[in-house]
Amino acid sequence: MRVGITGHRGLGGDVAAFVRKELADVAATYDPAELVAVSCIADGPDTWWPDAVLARRGRIEVVIPAERYRAGLPDAHYADYDRLLAAATDTHYTGITDSTEQAHMAGSEILVGLVDELLAVWDGQPARGYGGTADVVAYAERVGVPVRVIWPDGVTRD
């Protein structure tokens, strides 16, 4: 089973703890030999999901939205990014150089095309920029990929 991830970055505190637990619980429902996490490995849920799958001895595949994608991520995330990229059994590229909203959406579209299900760490609100979580969810729904939303009840993002 190939399960992708999209989600809000910059989550902290109780929300981050809730999401990490939920992702670990989802990973535990699958046979590790059959489970492949697909992620763009940004900071936040895009890292937490492949980590949960690797902890269960599943596999990961990575989608790189742009050649300069890593440079646009927080410096503190580089070690996790590099570690997950090295652990990937396959890596997919958009062919785009600059890390723009369009590149991020192109990467997400590739990701959605690779998976049987999409996990969305999403507050249900519209995207704050093109290629945001809401746009990825809408795309997955348009192409018929089932979406499982993970978000704590009653919580809103700042």
What is the pLDDT confidence band of residue 38, given thresholds at 50, 70 and 90?
very high
Q: What pLDDT, on the 0 to 100 scale, is given for residue 157?
A: 83
Range of the domain at 15: 2-150
pLDDT, residue 87, reads: 98
Whether residue 112 contacts residue 5, with contact meaning beta carbons closer than 8 Å, is answered with no
The model carries a pTM of 0.96
The answer to whether residue 9 is domain-embedded is yes
Tell me the pLDDT tens digit for each residue of 128-149: 889 999 999 999 999 999 999 9
Q: What's the full length of the chain, in residues? A: 158
CATH number of the domain bearing residue 98: 3.40.50.450
Domain count, the chain: 1
Rounded Cα–Cα distance for residues 91 and 127 (Å): 26
Q: For residue range 69-95, what is the model confidence (pLDDT) as tens digits?
A: 999 999 999 999 999 999 999 999 999
Q: Is residue 145 included in any domain, yes or no? A: yes
How confident is the model over 49-71, as pLDDT tens digits? Answer: 999 999 999 999 999 999 999 99
List helix spans (H) across the chain: 13-28, 45-55, 78-87, 101-114, 133-143
Assigned domain for 157 exists: no
Q: Which among 3, 2, 48 has a CA at the least distance from the CA of 148?
A: 3
Do the domain assignments include residue 34? yes
Residue 158 lies in a domain: no
**pLDDT of 158 strictly over 80:** no
- Residue 8 counted as domain residue: yes
Mean pLDDT score across all residues of the chain: 96
Tokens encoding 137 = 């969810």
pLDDT digits (tens, 9 = 90+) for 7-37: 999 998 899 999 999 999 999 999 999 999 9
